Structure 1
């Protein structure tokens, strides 16, 4: 009985209950976002130097739930929420700020009465400005062109991926290939996650190469970002079912040149976030190159507050020395 009560409390803590948050309001309502620096530095360990922590808040009822992060050039991040919203984060100054009126609803309509809103990953082409979004529940990838054109596809290789733990991780490599990794592990293989390597745009017809990503016990891949040297940073998350719920986060690094069809892609953990405010649900990672030396730069993380009063929307920056 106690176990079921604890589980119920955890579910309530993760649920976007209107009794815990302000009314959601209308989708066309604007959001005034406040970016507040936090002094806390305890709870991180590893090879990367922590250089900033900020909390994002807004009175908008749909604000939060950020489950994806991607770099759009050297001066902007785009965050995506699992409720189908995007947010532009301006990095031109010493501290991040949110671009005015950039919080916007972009989800697809599945039918006259339902929408595709479970956005879990983003990818971006800096040359064309094209954005790709991966939707977990539908195992679908959508392409959003700068001019407003949209197209989507449900790759047949993802047809059997779980509805609730599908394409959580997607990254576009420098040569235009795409890596997509399932959040859920393979049946009977707790450490192995189904993964695909697309030769180009995943929305266009074409066969993807299948491989698998090896994680760590209880950790699932939730996002990734490409580095200039061909390596990839993979964000990993572990859930601790307590009340309130706690999360452990790790950043792993792997070489994209080691991905082979049918093989197992392995990584090495270089950073951990555990305890204090860092025991939150980090689901997005992005690398921003330095203007002076593109091999160096900053690694950014964003957390998903699950639209819950018990969690925060945090933006975290680490120094990347190349």
Structure 2
């Protein structure tokens, strides 16, 4: 949400209204999704290797603004948008159907009620937890996105309504990490964060700490590695006409989280190719049989014409960090 406000200010000051999409006259409910491969060339971006990238597009009126990404069974991705949209589609190269619609079938006139910024999942039960930035709410759904239960944790009550639970992950041991998008103070560099010792909807005990991203960056998503560590996706808005974005990936160890302390990680990759720079907000990790992992990123186009919905595939060996 913070980057959206900043973008609006930049666009208004510049008078560049042609960069913002005009509202559709009639809703388009097409389930057509195109994935156009980008000619980027594979190469190393830090410790990771850039393997592939695609431009996603659809005439569906609800398409775009995706802020989260989950790897689902049967080679499927699930993404949600900050306008309450849902996108389900097969991993490139796999078979499957496309679904574009409203997340859990719900609608609302107030954006803050459907402003989804984070998703996480229990692979054993299939349950999905959803983070709503506008109301500092965590919702739990069954695997078919029914059975909604919600909570507004007391530990998150003081988080600003436009910079709430941007990043959330359910760890394999059942604990949850939630990080706010907004910084703790205006001139500060750390973000408020919570470690829940279990499901936030089951009265889990909350432990407050702070996350410190790379300088000038904000955490926007995270996912857990098979070895227990987490990869955190961080983004920086670069003012300009049009504005642009820098992206970094940080790997951090949850065992180093201390109550009231600062938690940080090590930068392991960055996207600096001008052809791929965009507002990446969703991260999913898919392990390979050889112990390496694929890191998948999806970008939020913010409803503008100068941004795109991109899907990027990176390959990384987590043992690289172990050797350092």
TM-score, with length taken from structure 1? 0.88
CA distance in 2, matches of 1:127, 1:149: 17
Q: Structure 1: how far apart are the matches of 2:258 and 2:198?
A: 16
Runs of at least 5 residues in structure 2 that lack an aligned partner in the other structure: 1-7, 319-324
User: Are 1:140 and 2:144 counterparts?
Assistant: no
Equivalent residue in structure 1 for 2:178, among 177, 180, 196: 180
Aligned residue for 2:134, secondary structure, equals coil
Equivalents in 1 of 2:265, 2:18: separation in Å?
A: 30
- Residues 77, 299 of structure 1: CA spacing in aligned structure 2 closer, same or farther, 3 A cutoff? same
1:106 Cα deviation (Å)?
1.9
Higher strand share: 1
User: Structure 2: how far apart are the matches of 1:11 and 1:123?
Assistant: 38
Post-superposition Cα deviations, 1:32-73, rounded to whole Å, max 9, x if no partner, equal 101111112499721101111011100112201011012224
The answer to whether structure 1 residue 266 and structure 2 residue 268 are counterparts is no
Is this contact kept in 2: 1:136–1:163, CA < 8 A? yes
Match of 1:149 among 147, 150, 156: 147
Distance 2:105 2:155 in 1: 21
Q: Which residue of 1 aligns with 2:294?
A: 298
Name the structure 1 match of 2:21.
Answer: 17
Q: Take 1:307 and 1:46, find their aligned partners in 2: how far apart are those partners?
A: 30
Q: Retained in 2: the 8 A contact 1:35–1:98?
A: no
Deviations 1:3-53 (CA, angstroms, capped at 9, x unpaired): x9955256857975316xx54616xx2421011111124997211011110
Measured after TM superposition, the shift of residue 217 of structure 1 is 2.2
**Alignment correspondent of 1:209:** 207
Q: Does 1:105 align with 2:102?
A: yes
Query: Does the 8 Å contact 2:56/2:311 carry over to 1?
Result: yes
Looking at structure 2, the residues matched to 68 and 35 of structure 1 have their Cα atoms a distance apart, in angstroms, of 18
Matches within 5 A, 1:211-250: 211-250=209-248
Query: What does residue 8 of structure 1 align with?
Result: 12
Counterpart Cα distance in 2 of 1:123 and 1:12: 36
Distance 1:224 1:13, change over 3 A: farther
Q: What is the aligned partner in structure 2 of residue 122 from structure 1? A: 119
Q: Determine whether 1:254 maps to 2:252.
A: yes
| Cα drift, residue 98 of structure 1 | 8.2
SS of alignment partner, residue 278 of structure 1: coil
Q: Secondary structure at the match of 1:243?
A: coil
Are the structure 2 counterparts of residues 220 and 98 from structure 1 closer, same or farther at C-alpha, using a change threshold of 3 Å?
Answer: farther
d(CA) in 2 for partners of 1:223 and 1:281? 12
What is the alpha-carbon distance in structure 1 between the residues aligned to residue 105 and residue 212 of structure 2? 32
In 1, Cα distance between the equivalents of 2:237 and 2:125?
A: 37
Partner SS for 1:200: coil
SS in 1 for 2:296: strand
1:104: Cα distance to partner?
A: 2.6
**CA 101–70 in structure 1, closer or farther in 2 if over 3 Å, else same:** closer
Match in the other structure for 2:128 = 131
* Alpha-carbon separation, structure 2, partners of 1:81 and 1:51: 25
Question: Is 2:300–2:309's contact at 8 Å kept on the other side of the alignment?
Answer: yes
Once the two structures are TM-superposed, the CA of residue 276 in structure 1 deviates from its matched residue by 1.5
RMSD: 2.6
Residue 54 of structure 2 is aligned to residue 54 of structure 1: yes
How far apart in 2 are the matches of 1:190 and 1:311? Answer: 28
